[in-house]
Amino acid sequence: MTHKHIIPFGLLAKIWLALMVLTGVTVGVASFDFGFLNVLVAMSVASAKALLVVLFFMHLKYENRVLGAFVILVFVILAIFIGFTFFDVAWRPEAGA
């Protein structure tokens, strides 16, 4: 049984507008110094943009829940790997020390 997932143009335009706003937020965030939270803030905005693209433009919102669970699992594993990289950088001795 097939389902049609025709997303209305208005919704796609709103998603595109949200992506443009988040791109502006990305540029704005880059001009502030959040200290050790710089990477966290940048990754949060990038993750929000990626979520919109994956859900609506790649139609994951309308797919089977098992496929969605596997996509979430992949992102969790990616976050773990990136987190381990941050731990390595955080405890690395300074170059001049």
Instruction: Please give the pLDDT value at position 87.
Output: 77
**If you write DSSP's letter for every residue of the chain in order, what string do you get?**
--------HHHHHHHHHHHHHHHHHHHHHHTS--GGGHHHHHHHHHHHHHHHIIIIIS-GGGS-HHHHHHHHHHHHHHHHHHHHHHHHHHTSPPTT-
pLDDT of residue 29: 92
Q: Would you say residue 19 has pLDDT above 90?
A: yes
Mean pLDDT of 13-32: 94
Whole-number pLDDT of residue 63: 83
**pLDDT (tens digit per residue) in 41-91:** 988 899 899 989 988 888 888 888 898 889 889 989 988 988 888 777 777
Confidence category of residue 17, pLDDT binned at 50, 70, 90:
very high
* Count of Cβ atoms closer than 10 Å to residue 56 Cβ: 19
Domain limits of the chain?
A: 1-58, 64-97
